[in-house]
């Protein structure tokens, strides 16, 4: 951990000497100039110094399938009138804005906007609002059941380092279940729901499309006893959430039920969550067929990319798509 980030954590923790976990996560990921996502460095890819790769690391095939799905879900005429807005785009290594998922893709949209993390999210008119692994990068609160009671977990910020900490009694969020087995850890992705609400309440119409990690509320509350927050550092997944602050990624599974409810509450219809495999087969099937036909006689990078995107043991079941449409 850099001395500058440690100073920021000490200042934010004062005078208590500790932070709630969501406060810690927000700081180490997003503190201006010191956080993991705000420092000018290469995070995404397969090369040296990167920590993880996403579907966009596989070349333009992912973007081609996204375009095909948008046409299927919104209609070709409306797509040609829409602005494609990509949220949370990764900047280039030199700090300039990245091109996002449509890099190298023949785009039918009227205009395109890429909004890096931390940008003002102002939306209006007819849009396709797209994100890839944005909601799982939002801070979460952590809870654990000890001796029949629920306690909140935080981080003690000392002069020499960080350590896990059980917070003094706090008001518990109403979303928490009444009972859970001792030792059960539940990570509440409240900030991801707040982000969706901010997006959905703005005056725009069109298609919302988000690819992310997530689970149902029943799965989070009853089938993930170790919680879902994970660290990613140099392509290794870890449960050591306090290691390498500002230098490793932290993610938390979203609650798809909450996000679906948030879209419906703001007038979105045909709201659904599908595995990445099912989403592309159902909504980009013709594009898939064209790619497979063109690559039928060879093992190409495009065919290998499709295998990564669709196969259940790769990204096909690991990621899900949330989508819904709002008419004028």
The more confidently predicted of residues 38 and 252 is 252
pLDDT at residue 245 tops 80: yes
pLDDT tens-digit map of 180-219 = 999 999 999 999 999 999 999 999 999 999 999 999 999 9
Spatial CB neighbours of 19, under 8 Å, sequence gap ≥ 6: 9, 12, 13, 27, 154, 155, 157
Query: pLDDT at position 43, please?
Result: 63
Q: Are strands 141-146 and 185-188 parallel, antiparallel or unpaired?
A: antiparallel
- Residue 298 and residue 290 in contact, taking contact as beta carbons nearer than 8 Å: no
Percentage of the chain modeled with pLDDT above 70: 92
Spatial CB neighbours of 49, under 8 Å, sequence gap ≥ 6: 41, 42, 234
For residues 173-179, average pLDDT: 90
C-alpha–C-alpha distance, residues 260 and 282, integer Å: 19
For tokens 């449409």, the residue is: 325
Question: Which among 192, 313, 314 is positioned nearest to 263, based on CA atoms?
Answer: 192
pLDDT at residue 179 tops 90: no
The more confidently predicted of residues 37 and 42 is 37
Cα of first residue to Cα of last residue in the chain, in angstroms, is 49
pLDDT at residue 178 tops 60: yes
Helix residue ranges per DSSP H, the chain: 3-13, 21-30, 61-74, 76-81, 190-200, 217-222, 256-265, 276-283, 285-294, 301-310
Query: pLDDT at position 95, please?
Result: 61
C-alpha–C-alpha distance, residues 229 and 318, integer Å: 15
- Mean pLDDT, the chain, rounded, equals 90
Find the length of the chain. Answer: 328
User: Which of the four pLDDT bands, split at 50, 70 and 90, describes residue 263?
Assistant: very high
Query: pLDDT at position 37, please?
Result: 84
Query: pLDDT at position 11, please?
Result: 94
pLDDT tens-digit map of 226-235 = 999 999 888 7
Distances (CA, A) of 46 to 50, 85, 234: 6, 26, 9
Query: pLDDT at position 210, please?
Result: 97
pLDDT tens-digit map of 79-114 = 999 999 999 887 666 666 667 889 889 999 999 999
Per-residue burial over 208-233, b if 16 or more Cβ lie within 10 Å, else e, is: bbbbbbbbeeeebbeeeeebbbbbbb
Question: Which among 174, 194, 176, 178 is positioned nearest to 186, based on CA atoms?
Answer: 176
DSSP conformation letters of 221-234:
HHS-TB-S-EEEET
The more confidently predicted of residues 53 and 158 is 158
């Amino acid at each position: 951990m850099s001395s500058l980030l440690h100073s920021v954590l000490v200042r934010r923790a004062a005078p208590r000497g500790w932070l709630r976990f969501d406060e810690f996560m927000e700081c180490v990921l997003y503190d201006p100039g010191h956080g993991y996502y705000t420092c000018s460095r290469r995070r995404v890819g397969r090369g040296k110094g990167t920590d993880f790769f996403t579907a966009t690391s596989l070349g333009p095939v992912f973007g081609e399938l996204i375009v095909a799905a948008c046409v299927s879900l919104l209609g070709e005429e409306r797509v040609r009138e829409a602005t494609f807005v990509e949220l949370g785009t990764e900047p280039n290594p030199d700090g300039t804005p990245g091109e996002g998922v449509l890099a190298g893709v023949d785009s039918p949209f009227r205009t395109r906007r890429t909004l890096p993390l931390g940008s003002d999210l102002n939306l209006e008119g007819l849009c396709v609002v797209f994100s890839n692994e944005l909601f799982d990068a939002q801070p979460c609160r952590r809870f654990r059941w000890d001796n029949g009671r629920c306690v909140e977990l935080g981080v003690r910020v000392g002069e020499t380092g960080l350590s896990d900490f059980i917070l003094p009694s706090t008001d518990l969020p109403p979303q928490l279940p009444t009972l859970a087995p001792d030792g059960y850890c539940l990570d509440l992705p409240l900030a991801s729901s707040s982000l969706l609400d901010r997006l959905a309440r703005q005056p725009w119409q069109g298609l919302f499309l988000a690819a992310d990690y997530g689970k149902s509320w029943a799965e989070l509350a009853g089938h993930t006893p170790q919680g879902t927050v994970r660290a990613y550092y140099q392509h290794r997944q870890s449960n050591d959430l306090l290691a390498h602050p500002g230098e490793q990624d932290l993610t938390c599974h979203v609650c798809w039920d909450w996000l679906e409810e948030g879209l419906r509450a703001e007038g979105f219809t045909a709201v659904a969550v599908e595995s990445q495999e099912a989403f592309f087969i159902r909504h980009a099937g013709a594009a898939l067929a064209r790619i497979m036909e063109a690559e039928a006689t060879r093992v190409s990078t495009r065919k290998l990319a499709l295998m990564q995107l669709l196969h259940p043991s790769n990204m096909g079941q690991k990621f899900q798509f949330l989508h819904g449409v709002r008419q004028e």
